[in-house]
Amino acid sequence: MAPKIHVDYMQQALNLARKSPPKPTNYRVGALLIDGKTNTVLATGYTLECEGNTHAEQSCFIKLAKEHNVTEEQLGDILPKETVLYTTVEPCFKRLSGNLPCVQRILRLGKAIKTVYVGVKEPEKFVGENSGRKQLEDAGIEVVLVEGMEEEILEVATAGHIPES
């Protein structure tokens, strides 16, 4: 079982995911950016929280950039050295909407984010197998599955989806 702190943060992320409107075309995801050194929450986000077709990780970055009056691309310069990301569903590597995938958003921050904790691996429903994990790992970012909440996370993530018959 994952250390309690990881489960606690994943539970917070799951509570954020519940705020996302259920839709058949996306997953309801919650995310937290944490200063791993001080265990301080830097930003929170959930799917469709910000204007446009925003993902949870993207919402974290948008809100934090606005708070610090920088562009999303400049966040890498101001994030604490031990920043970690918690997200209920593995970051996307491909967006059908044409938006920049979350994996690319993480990578363009340089080495700012050291570890990404995920609650479940991305289901293959929309974009097939997620190659984002390999891209992150190749860039030196550790991707860690926080086990034990998969069923609950998927239930929240897929609310609003049309059941396959």
Active site residue 57: yes
β-bridge partners, 46: 30
Which tokens sit at 22? 């259920």
Please provide residue 147's backbone torsions phi and psi, each rounded to the nearest 5 degrees: -80, 155
Which amino acid is residue 107, in one-letter code? L
Distance CA 49, CA 117 (A): 21
Q: Helix (H, G, I), strand (E, B), or coil: what is residue 21?
A: coil
Residue with tokens 């340089």: 110
Which tokens sit at 143? 């991707």
* DSSP 8-state class, residue 74: G
From the CB of residue 129, how many other CB atoms can be counted at a distance below 10 Å? 11
Q: Helix (H, G, I), strand (E, B), or coil: what is residue 24?
A: coil
**Options 49, 57, 90, 122, the catalytic residue:** 57
Catalytic positions: 57
